[in-house]
């Protein structure tokens, strides 16, 4: 008899042959890999060899819900998409909240594996254990809002959940995103471009069977506890009231708010684009994800001087910094409209803003001019130019075609010293967090298998000395003392190592960081209780953390096979220079040698001699099948 929590069925779709099959998986599979990236990497390591073209039919995409997603466990809405990234050439992995992952589980599947390439635009229709490939010709070229409405109309059910690409993905912009319900994104690594390369416009899902739990009363009791605790938890309350835009003020105060392509760390108009103003003047309320009591999503009134459409949601912190301060734009109307355009066209807001701000700095440095940029100069502070160039990138129009390749590639082709102005790791543009303020984030950027990423491990301030939230969370992990945010000693490496396993476990379970400690309300012991209640397993934190460690080792092994090594685990030179502005101006430089030693120490802790999982480590993790390949 199947345990609760998972379906035990993987849908396998070959678009080249139009064949749809179902693979059965037993409890051992899910106990080893969880869901999300664990399932995705299992397939990629078997089916995506070195030298595969990320935009060719040989690339494989895996859409996988979390192990607990769909069970009514609180703050557990997430799904993961994995493939070889067209932006980095390394592992592509992106998580999204919303409703699609839960709907997939209620339709009877834990994951969808997509292979090959359709001869014409198609979408996949999944309902209650069955699936078929359908023609998408009439929605190809449509934006995400038009596509969502058209497919729900065609299927005759407003409750259908759709994950899809926009025109950016169709034109294979290398940082194109995937979106469900118009506001929940698998945003990074350009996985929308992989869908576009396969002529796959969307996956529409409808499920009418509730995901079984081994102990439904136990899950419900824990859900009630979380809902009540969230009312008093300071971080959960802040996320509900202001969402991630609250971070604008704290980042600016620390001198770590990326401004004008990272040339400054504080922005004179930060208050004009921050959480207070967005909440007081722009919000109509808050949105949420499946079974989440926190409701951190920003719901806009819409309208305004630029006619912002509310259905595409409001900007998160990363979007505000990438398309606001980092482009020198202090107009929140422009930022909200830029967010809408990226969501409508299907492009990652971080990489889009980084590409535009890079071009703006190239203009300031005299590397490019109006003749290069279609007669329209890209200058810091020009909000109208930001809006115009989002469209040009999505359409691959003129200079936008170059920016659509990603900032690293654009810089290489421009030459003239342009590479100095790209802030990336492994080809992925850096998120809007400055490692000179949070040194552990620098380790995340360098060590993350998907390129610069701010969710590879937990952030430094949560484990700073005197922080009661981090102290309470750290104790079950064996982290008994705080570590200063700027520290790069072995204690900091240990914090990053342990929480990198924890974060990968979060992704495997489908839990949202904003609902679980150390960032929010649900402590680790209750997370384990949720796993026990949902699955019926006699399990503990040790077994669950091994899932996270297993995922990290699999990701590392995948990248090593694709040609990545220790030379790729580096930071941009910019982060070894002093902070340019703010209260820490001239300070907070990351020491190169200390950073190198910290990366080496992480390898030692992980069992990755020379930067690659050892044969013994793979066997210790139950991955002997990898050691034998």
What confidence tens digit (pLDDT) does each residue in 370-392 have?
999 988 889 999 999 999 999 99
pLDDT at residue 315, rounded to an integer: 95
Domains and CATH numbers, the chain: 9-206 (3.60.9.10), 246-422 (1.10.569.10), 439-627 (1.10.599.10)
Whole-number Å distance between alpha carbons of 532 and 134: 39
Q: Is 417 left (phi over 0), alpha (psi -120 to 50) or beta?
A: left
Name 322's Cβ contacts closer than 8 Å, sequence gap at least 6.
258, 349, 350, 352, 353, 354, 357, 432
Residue 467's Cβ-count burial label (10 Å; 0-12, 13-18, 19+) is: middle
The bridge status of strand 111-115 relative to strand 9-14 is parallel
pLDDT at residue 519, rounded to an integer: 75
From the list 146, 151, 200, the residue with the least C-alpha distance to 13 is 200
Count of other CB atoms within 10 angstroms of residue 289: 25
Name 451's Cβ contacts closer than 8 Å, sequence gap at least 6.
85, 87, 88, 90, 188, 189, 424, 425, 426, 427, 428
How is residue 494 written in tokens? 């240990």
What SS3 class is residue 130? strand
Whole-number Å distance between alpha carbons of 218 and 534: 8
Count of other CB atoms within 10 angstroms of residue 586: 10
The distance from CA 451 to its chain's CA centroid, rounded to whole angstroms, is 11
Count of other CB atoms within 10 angstroms of residue 51: 9
Residue with tokens 């060590």: 447
Residue 337's Cβ-count burial label (10 Å; 0-12, 13-18, 19+) is: buried
Residue with tokens 């390949």: 629
Omega cis (within 30) before 582? no
Contact 275, 301 (CB under 8 A): no
pTM over 0.95, yes/no = yes
Whole-number Å distance between alpha carbons of 255 and 328: 15
pLDDT at residue 239, rounded to an integer: 85
pLDDT at residue 2, rounded to an integer: 45
Whole-number Å distance between alpha carbons of 345 and 335: 15
Residue 430 DSSP label: P
Residues in the chain predicted with pLDDT less than 70, given as ranges, are 1-3
pLDDT at residue 3, rounded to an integer: 64
Residue with tokens 């835009």: 245
pLDDT at residue 583, rounded to an integer: 81
pLDDT at residue 231, rounded to an integer: 87
The distance from CA 383 to its chain's CA centroid, rounded to whole angstroms, is 26
Contact 534, 31 (CB under 8 A): no
Residue 302's Cβ-count burial label (10 Å; 0-12, 13-18, 19+) is: middle
Whole-number Å distance between alpha carbons of 434 and 442: 8
């Amino acid at each position: 008899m199947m345990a609760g929590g998972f379906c035990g069925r993987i849908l396998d779709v070959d678009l080249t042959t139009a064949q749809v099959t179902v693979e059965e998986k037993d409890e051992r599979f899910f106990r080893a890999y969880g869901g999300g990236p664990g399932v995705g990497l299992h397939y990629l390591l078997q089916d995506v060899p070195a030298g595969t073209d990320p935009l060719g039919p040989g690339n494989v995409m895996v859409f996988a819900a979390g192990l607990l997603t769909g069970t009514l466990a609180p703050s557990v809405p997430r799904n993961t998409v994995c493939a070889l990234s067209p932006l980095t050439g390394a592992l592509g992995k992106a998580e999204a909240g919303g409703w699609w992952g839960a709907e997939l589980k209620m339709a009877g599947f834990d994951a969808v594996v997509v292979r090959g390439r359709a001869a014409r635009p198609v979408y996949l229709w999944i309902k209650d254990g069955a699936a078929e490939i359908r023609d998408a010709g009439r929605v190809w070229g449509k934006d995400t809002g038009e596509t969502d409405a058209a497919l729900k109309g065609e299927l005759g059910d407003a409750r259908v959940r759709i994950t899809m690409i926009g025109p950016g993905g169709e034109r294979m912009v290398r940082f194109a995103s995937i979106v469900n319900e118009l506001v929940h994104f698998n945003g990074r690594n350009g996985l929308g471009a992989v869908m576009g390369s396969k002529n796959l416009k969307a996956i529409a899902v409808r499920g009418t069977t509730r995901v079984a739990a081994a102990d439904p009363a136990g899950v419900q009791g824990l859900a009630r506890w979380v809902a009540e605790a969230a009312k008093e938890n300071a971080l959960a309350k802040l996320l509900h009231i202001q969402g991630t835009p609250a971070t604008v003020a704290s980042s600016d105060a620390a001198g770590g708010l990326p401004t004008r392509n990272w040339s400054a760390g504080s922005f004179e108009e930060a208050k004009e684009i921050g959480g207070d103003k967005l909440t007081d003047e722009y919000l109509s309320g808050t949105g949420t994800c499946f079974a989440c009591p926190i409701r951190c999503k920003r719901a806009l009134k819409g309208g305004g001087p630029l006619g912002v459409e509310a259905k595409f949601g409001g900007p998160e912190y990363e979007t505000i910094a990438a398309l606001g301060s980092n482009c020198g734009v202090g107009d929140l109307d422009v930022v909200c409209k830029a967010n809408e355009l990226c969501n409508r066209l299907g492009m990652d807001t971080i990489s889009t803003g980084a590409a535009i701000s890079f071009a703006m700095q190239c203009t300031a440095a005299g590397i490019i001019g109006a003749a290069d940029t279609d007669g329209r100069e890209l200058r810091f502070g020009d909000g109208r130019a930001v809006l115009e160039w989002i469209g040009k990138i999505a359409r691959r129009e003129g200079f936008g075609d170059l920016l659509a390749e990603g900032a690293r590639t654009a810089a290489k082709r421009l030459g003239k010293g342009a590479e100095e102005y790209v802030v990336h790791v492994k080809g992925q543009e850096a998120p809007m967090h400055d490692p000179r303020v949070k040194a552990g984030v620098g380790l995340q950027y360098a060590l993350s298998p998907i390129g610069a990423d701010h969710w590879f491990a937990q952030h430094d301030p949560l484990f700073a000395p005197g922080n009661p939230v981090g102290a309470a969370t750290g104790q079950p992990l064996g982290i008994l003392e705080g570590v200063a945010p700027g520290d790069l000693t072995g204690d900091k490496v240990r914090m990053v190592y342990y929480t990198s396993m924890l974060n990968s476990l979060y992704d495997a379970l489908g839990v949202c960081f904003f609902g679980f400690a150390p960032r929010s309300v649900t402590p680790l012991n209750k997370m384990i209780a949720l796993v026990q209640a949902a699955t019926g397993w006699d399990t503990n934190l040790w077994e669950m953390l091994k899932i996270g460690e297993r995922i990290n080792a699999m990701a590392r092994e995948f990248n090593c096979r694709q040609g990545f090594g220790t030379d790729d685990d580096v930071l941009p030179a910019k982060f070894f220079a002093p902070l340019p502005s703010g209260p820490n101006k001239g300070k907070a430089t990351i020491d190169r040698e200390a950073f190198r030693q910290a990366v080496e120490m992480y390898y030692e802790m992980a069992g990755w001699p020379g930067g690659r999982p050892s044969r013994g480590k793979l066997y210790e993790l139950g991955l002997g099948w990898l050691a034998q390949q």
